[in-house]
Amino acid sequence: MYKKSFFIVFEGIEGSGKSYQAKILFKKLKKLINNVILTREPGGTKSAEIIRKIILKDYFEKNKKIKFDKYTDTLLYLAARNEHLKNKIIPALKNKKIIICDRFVDSTLAYQVYGKRVSLNFINNIHKQILRKIKPNITFVLKVKKQSFLSRLKKRRSRNRYDNFPAKFYIKAQNAFLKISKNKKDHIILESSKNTPELQKKIFQIIKRKIGLK
C-alpha cells in the first residue's frame, strides 16, 4: 500500500484531452492502490460545484451588460478553490492520499492573467491566504494542435462556457500554459493531439516512477 500523499494536476486548453487522461490515470492507479481520488476545478466539492454553476451560468447570458466583471469572475474561481482546498485537497493530503486534479493554479494564470489581464499580484495575494503553500508534485500540461482540439469540441454533446471561446483564445491560452511551464522541473509537457494508448502508458509510467510503484 502506498502511504504518502501525492498531488497530480492535469492542465491544458479545452479539447486537449486533460480530463480524459486524468480519468484514465485514476482508473489505472485505482487497480493498484485504494487511496487515490479524482477531482476538478472549479468544483470538486458540493460548495465549489455551486460556485461553478454560477460561473458557467454567467457566460450563457446573452445580454453582455449583465456579465460579471473580470475581477468578480476571478474571485468566484478563487472562492471555489478555497472551498476545494479546505474541504477536499487538504484533508486528502493529510490522509496520505494521491490526488488527481483536472485544472488548478496554472489555469487561473493562463485564463485570468494572460487571457483577461487580471493583475497577477491580485491573484498571488489571495493565493497566499488560501493555498497554504500547497502545490502539485507534478503537473502534466497537454499540448494539442488546433485541428484536434476544434474537432473534439465539435463532437461534445453538451457544451459549457469553456467550450465556446474563439479558436484564437485557446491558442493564446495554450501558449500561456507553455510559458508558465517553461524551465519548471515539476511540469511535464506532452503532445496530446492523439489520445493514444502510448500517451496513457507514458503518463502512467511517469507517475509509477514518481511514487515508487513497481
Q: CA 13 to CA 179: how far, in whole Å? A: 14
Q: Is residue 76 in some structural domain?
A: yes
What distance separates the 2 farthest-apart alpha carbons in the chain? 56
Q: Is residue 129 in some structural domain?
A: yes
Q: Is residue 188 in some structural domain?
A: yes
Torsion of CA 18, 80, 166, 190, to 10 degrees: -20
CATH number of the domain residue 172 falls in? 3.40.50.300
Q: What mean pLDDT comes out for the span 88-112?
A: 96
Q: Is the pLDDT of residue 83 over 90?
A: yes
Q: What mean pLDDT comes out for the span 1-11?
A: 87
What is the number of structural domains in the chain?
1
Cell numbers linked to 198: 502510448
pLDDT > 70: percent of the chain: 90
Q: CA 43 to CA 45: how far, in whole Å? A: 6
Range of the domain at 49: 6-211
Q: Is residue 30 in some structural domain?
A: yes
Q: Is residue 183 in some structural domain?
A: yes
Q: Is residue 1 in some structural domain?
A: no
Q: Is the pLDDT of residue 160 over 90?
A: no
